[in-house]
């Protein structure tokens, strides 16, 4: 999958816990693949990569 989307990380009130997510919020990122989740109650999650090589996971609602 080679798709680029804007990543917006909401302010959950704990930026120190996810500094990479906070630093890359608002950037265009590459969506690498969907992360398989066995719990149907959890929102779809994707592995993303920023242009500087940082990788993290993002919920579908954080990508536009």
Q: What is the pLDDT of residues 3-60, one digit of tens each?
A: 999 999 987 776 678 889 989 999 999 999 999 988 989 999 999 999 999 999 999 9
19: exposed, middle or buried (Cβ count in 10 Å: 0-12, 13-18, 19+): exposed
pTM over 0.95: no
Domain boundaries, the chain: 3-62
* pLDDT over threshold 80, residue 1: no
Rg over alpha carbons for the chain, rounded to the nearest Å, is 11
Q: Which two tokens stand for residue 54?
A: 């940082």
Instruction: Give the pLDDT confidence score for residue 14 in this predicted structure.
Output: 64
The whole-angstrom separation of Cα 63 and Cα 9 is 9
């Amino acid at each position: 999958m080679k798709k680029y989307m804007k990543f917006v990380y909401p302010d959950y009130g704990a930026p120190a816990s996810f500094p990479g997510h906070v630093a890359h919020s608002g950037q265009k990122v590459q969506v690498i693949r969907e992360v398989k989740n066995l719990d149907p109650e959890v929102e779809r999650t994707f592995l993303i990569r920023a242009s500087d090589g940082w990788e993290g996971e993002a919920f579908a609602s954080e990508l536009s």
